[in-house]
Homo-oligomer: A and B are copies of this chain.
């Protein structure tokens, strides 16, 4: 079974477990997100799958992406301002975001996986996600802007 098929199967299991129905839309949206490396926005996912499901509405895409985020099958990429971007890759990895072209680049730096959350926080807060996130200019934007 391929990687995507495996992921799809556990996604379907997660749906069942949460009492959510497995619809072609949900499946395609999840698959599109899984296969994309660009951390797409709702709009980008919509464009990606409208040829597969010609009748799908943008709202369904948007709503479903929120559902994926709520159920934990994907998450909204951290960032400052701008449109929501989604990521179905739950493996430990970090993001570099170009503040000019808004492209998001994955990178993986062991030290940033499971960074130690300070003790005094743990007492008062329930930590759900500790994220290291880097912002700057990507190669091509550095050249353009100077």
Interfacial residues, chain A to chain B (CB-CB below 8 A): 75-81, 84, 96, 98-99, 105, 107, 109, 111-112, 115-118, 120-121, 124-139, 142
Contacts of A81 in B (CB 8 A): 76, 84
Tell me, in angstroms, the Cα distance from A98 to B129 when the chains sit together.
Answer: 11
Could you say how many copies of this chain the assembly holds?
2
Tell me, in angstroms, the Cα distance from A129 to B78 when the chains sit together.
Answer: 13
Shortest Cβ gap from A27 to chain B (Å) = 24
Asked if A132 contacts B115 (CB within 8 A), the reply is yes
Report the nearest B residue to A77, measured CB to CB: B80
Shortest Cβ gap from A95 to chain B (Å) = 10
Could you list 20 further interchain pairs (A-B, Cβ under 8 angstroms) beyond the known A126-B137, A131-B133? A76-B80, A76-B81, A78-B78, A78-B79, A78-B133, A79-B79, A96-B127, A107-B118, A111-B116, A115-B132, A117-B134, A124-B138, A125-B138, A125-B139, A127-B135, A128-B136, A129-B136, A130-B134, A132-B132, A133-B133
Shortest Cβ gap from A122 to chain B (Å) = 10
Shortest Cβ gap from A32 to chain B (Å) = 20
